[in-house]
Amino acid sequence: MSSVIEQQNPTGEEPADASGGPGHSASLDMRRILDRETHSSRAAAAGIAATLVILFCLYALLESAVRAVGQPPWLVDPQTAAERIVSLPNGIPPLLLGVTGAVVTAAGLFFFLSAILPGRRARHLLDDPRVAVVVDDEVIASALARRARLAANVTSEQVMVVVSQRQAVVNVRPTSGVPVSENAVREAVEDELRSMAPIPMPAVRVNLATSGVIGA
């Protein structure tokens, strides 16, 4: 899948300078659009965190209201819960304590990594002076696999390409008895990448399988 976003000024007028004019504003808007296209949203993680906080607050409010009217607690009395937390790890079986700690650590790590990691989608920008093109890594991998297949003179089933933000890994299984030049495959793939000009430009790594495929 690919997305094309126009960057040209439809009026044909010269854009304003970078001091804060209309051209600068359009550039900022384009940058925001591209960021949304290439980075995953954190709305899901934020929604989960907000839901957990709201549920906890509602439960605490419920228990406080029940205690205020002199009724028995719904689940755990707030004062009893606070005393148990202060006295940890006393009174808690080691297995339960370990499982609870692991769950809390995993949840904290999930939200922490969601906050600090860039959350990039499997997409690249293609350098073009007129439009902004956003392409899925699968599309880039398909084009690189075609060039690698032609350079290695093998079938499409004998080539697999995996593209990430910083690397393009080309796995080739040659036909038995037919030599394959690793340099030729690398040069062909690098030439295809230069013509596409993805941003960021991934480095190419070629892996030739030691066992060949019997030709038809």
Domain spans of the chain?
A: 43-116, 123-208
C-beta neighbour count of 141 within 10 angstroms = 19
Measured at the CA of 16, the angle between CA 14 and CA 17, to 5 degrees, comes to 125
Q: Could you list the pLDDT tens digit for every one of the 216 residues in the chain?
A: 555 444 444 444 444 444 444 444 546 555 665 565 566 667 777 888 889 899 989 988 888 888 888 888 887 777 777 777 777 777 778 888 888 889 989 988 888 887 777 667 667 777 666 666 777 888 889 999 999 999 988 888 889 999 988 899 999 998 888 888 899 999 999 999 998 888 888 999 999 988 777 755
Q: Which fold has domain 123-208?
A: GMP Synthetase; Chain A, domain 3 (3.30.300)
Helix (H) or strand (E) holding 171: strand 167-172
Torsion, Cα 160 164 167 173, to 10 degrees, reads -10
Give the span between the Cα atoms of 159 and 147, in whole angstroms.
10
Contacts of residue 145, defined as CB under 8 A and 6 or more positions apart, other chains included, come to 156, 159, 160, 161, 170
Question: What are the respective helix, strand and coil percentages of the chain, to the nearest 5?
Answer: 50, 20, 30
